[in-house]
Amino acid sequence: MAKLTTRKGRGFFLLIEGADGSGKTTLARRLVAALKREGYNVCPVREPGGTQFSEKVRRLLIDAQGAMNARAELFLFLAARAQLVDDVIRPALDRGMIVVADRFSLSTLAYQSGGRGLPLQDVAHADAISRAGISPDLTVVLHVTEKQAAERLRKLGRSRDRIEQESRPFHARVRRFYDHWAKRRRAHILIDSAVGPDEVFELVHAEVGKRLMPRQSRGRNKAR
């Protein structure tokens, strides 16, 4: 079966976001698998990570012991993102691929500004430098309550990483930021993950399909 792409040089960037325990990683994996079955060229990425350099930064951020101040944390996340954008995301979009990202810039705004309290304008400006003009075409934000998040993280059966171990007030601020931001931005969809993983998947899969169809049609018309 021939691999489908969007128009050449006009890939599609899908971002899956949400607080820890929202189910975003599971959703991202299901969407990648479904799109590949449909014949699309798909490039899955996660943050932080995705390149040799960025994976090393991920280990620093996730596994570091001892104190790390908010500014140092911010710039480590942005360093990993800058490398991922140049090495993976931009080339994939230029080839007309669908990039499915498990976290991107919105995580930085939610965690480093909403959670840590760094000035939003400063964080957004620094993030803009790191992504160098790359922005998602569609951002899906999964809402999750504290109780739901705790239960899902417990079921993972693994020890919590440095950020997952943060205080309840920290994670509450992060969740509030996500909800507030997604409700007021175009190209953002806020979904209550309590409806269940199957319904969340169907909702998002349908939304992605609606946005891909016009691109496919333009590509076919151009080829005639």
Tell me the domains of the chain and their CATH numbers: 12-223 (3.40.50.300)
Residue 183 tokens read as 């409700």
Q: List, run by run, the mean pLDDT of 10-residue segments along the chain (224 residues).
A: 62 96 95 96 97 94 82 97 98 97 98 98 98 97 91 76 88 96 92 95 96 63 44
Q: Would you state the pLDDT for residue 64? A: 74
- Rounded Cα distance between 130 and 128, Å, is 5
Q: Would you state the pLDDT for residue 7? A: 55
Q: Would you state the pLDDT for residue 179? A: 95
Q: Would you state the pLDDT for residue 224? A: 42
Q: Would you state the pLDDT for residue 10? A: 81
- Rounded Cα distance between 46 and 68, Å, is 22
Q: Would you state the pLDDT for residue 13? A: 98
Q: Would you state the pLDDT for residue 221? A: 45
- Rounded Cα distance between 215 and 53, Å, is 33
- Would the pTM count as exceeding 0.95? no
Q: Would you state the pLDDT for residue 176? A: 96
